[in-house]
Structures are given as C-alpha cells and as structure tokens.
A and B are shown apart, each in its own frame.
Chain A
C-alpha cells in the first residue's frame, strides 16, 4: 500500500536466524501454521499489505513475545532484541495507520481473524513459540512485497 515503512529487516532477520533452529525444534506441531493456515500470507492482495503488516506486528508485540521465555539466556536475549525491533517498527506503522493510509479491507480482517483463531487454538506457550518460529514466514512475505 502507500505506506512505505523502512524497517530494519536485516536486524530482525539476523536475530531470528541465530535462534531459528532452536525455536522451531521446540514446536512439534506440524499440521498447523499460525500464519499460513489455511492460506499463505502470499495469497493476500498487496493493497491490504499495509494493514496486515501493522496488525501482525501488533499481534507479535502484544500477544507473542511476552510468552516466549526459555531456559536459555542467550535465546531470551535474542528474543527480546527482536521484540524491541518489532516495537520500533510497529511505532512507524502506527503513524501510517493514524494518517489513514493503512486501510483494512474485508480480506485482511478475515485473514487476521484466522490467525487469532489458529493462535487461540493452542495453549498460549505453544502458540507463542510456534508464532516465533514462523517469523521467517512473516519476514519472507514482508521483504518480498517491499
């Protein structure tokens, strides 16, 4: 959409790459994806990209990161630095949203609702860890579209 937000994707991506194998290994559920079930993010119309990006960053900041504690302090540090990056990106997206350039259509509302249904279908720790393990799905989509 019209809302071009410069994001420190490389920072988030490298933080995630450092913990990806560890976090994904903690997720034994193969037949459900929070972000991609039943339809991939890549199927979403690009006109609704700004809204979904904003809502997804809000989802991660408000719902996911707080439930992602592990017994490993290195992993926890990486998670909190990713969370901080998300906070600053979400702040940028907030500006867009306030300037009404980030309109949410039916499709994005439906997609976001499905994501919440997927999330709430699991216990909160499993759902949060699975969502964290799917960050590459989110980053791949955001980077491809930008």
Chain B
C-alpha cells in the first residue's frame, strides 16, 4: 500500500463534488483525505485527494477521474517536489492536574492557543499530516473533547501551475 496525493482541477459547477465522490464510492476507492477549495479563477475548483492503495488501483482511479467531463486537469504530486499541509483544531479539557503538561506539549509542537476558558483550551496547528497525527497522539494521554482537521492541501514547488496541465 502506497499513499498517493492527487490534485484535480474541476469546473466550478453545481454538484461537481458529488460527481467526483460518487465515482469514488461506486468504484470502492478508499480515500483517506479530500479537500475542495476555490481557486485563482472562479471557473475552477481544486480538489486534493489522498489515496492509499496499490499502483494499479491508483491508475484506475486516475483513469476514471479523467473520464468525468467536469475534470479539467489533474496531477499526481511527488512528495519531494510538492508542499502539503493541513490544519488542525483540537479542543482539550482544561484540567488543573494536566494543564501544564498539555501546554508544554503544545509549545513543543508550536501549536497556537486560539481559545481558552475555565474548562477548555483550543489549539490550532498547521503542518504535515504526520506532525498532526503525532500531536493528536500525544494529546490522547489527556482528555480530548473535540478534533477537527481539514485534510491535505498541496502545491507543487517552483513556478509550474495546475491550470492547463493534463498529465498522465
């Protein structure tokens, strides 16, 4: 099993996310992360997909994506040549007994406190998925109230851009 990172430019049309995810569901592709966002032009949206599987099934996924008329271009990112990150918000219980340990851990990860009450603390952290996994794992020693993460967004390093790229 390998993890693949694929960026997809789609027409910014009503229901386009449904078309892409419906295809993933129907063909039983196991998506580990999916983000959708607006782009530099209002005609296009950008979808970033993390996929875990065999090379062969990844090829099938890309070939099926390419058949959707709303898909304008796509690109598989090499981790070496791209920057990926995601954002985490995590709400911890603010217990006197563990407070200092929680704050120490957060500082070590350079997580930012964005909300603080008598009973709770919300941290924000951005970075690679591994780093975020590690931070959540560390927090499991304490009382996690809620977790929300965005999924991966990626850009290629250097001046090349996705628009008009039709690879594979």
Do A and B come from the same complex?
Answer: no
